[in-house]
């Protein structure tokens, strides 16, 4: 069966999670991402994940969980991490609920 763009993105997210967890080195990650981008079938995509745990969480899931924990403890900071991205943004984007005035630079007089 032919692979969809969404399936390719999911495989790449899983590969990214595996790299962050140390299951793939950077060379393996890069090669598998290249292979995922040109894969035509689901079988080709599945072959890229065969030696990885099936229940791995993706980086998006971990980022959302981390942001939820930060909001729950009242943290008003926001961190952005990009791993070998192409500069485009995908998925949910969380920003601070407010900007504390104490952290703003005071105007020069």
Q: Does some domain include residue 17?
A: yes
- Would you say the C-alpha torsion 3, 59, 82, 25 has a positive or negative sign? negative
What is the pLDDT, as a whole number, of residue 73?
A: 66
Q: Report DSSP state, residue 78.
A: -
Residues of the chain with pLDDT under 50: 102, 104
pTM of the model: 0.54
Q: Which domain holds residue 34?
A: 5-72
- Structural domain total, the chain: 1
Q: Does some domain include residue 35?
A: yes
What is the pLDDT, as a whole number, of residue 21?
A: 86
Q: Does some domain include residue 56?
A: yes
What is the pLDDT, as a whole number, of residue 70?
A: 61
Q: Does some domain include residue 92?
A: no
Q: Does some domain include residue 80?
A: no
Q: Does some domain include residue 40?
A: yes
């Amino acid at each position: 069966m032919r692979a969809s763009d969404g399936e390719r993105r999911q495989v790449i997210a899983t590969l990214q999670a595996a790299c962050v967890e140390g299951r793939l080195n950077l060379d393996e990650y890069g090669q598998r991402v290249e292979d995922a981008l040109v894969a035509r079938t689901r079988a080709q995509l599945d072959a890229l994940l065969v030696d990885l745990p099936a229940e791995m969480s993706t980086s998006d899931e971990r980022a959302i969980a981390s942001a939820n924990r930060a909001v729950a403890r009242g943290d008003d900071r926001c961190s952005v991490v990009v791993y070998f991205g192409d500069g485009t943004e995908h998925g949910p984007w969380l920003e601070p609920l407010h900007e504390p005035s104490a952290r703003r630079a005071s105007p020069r007089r």
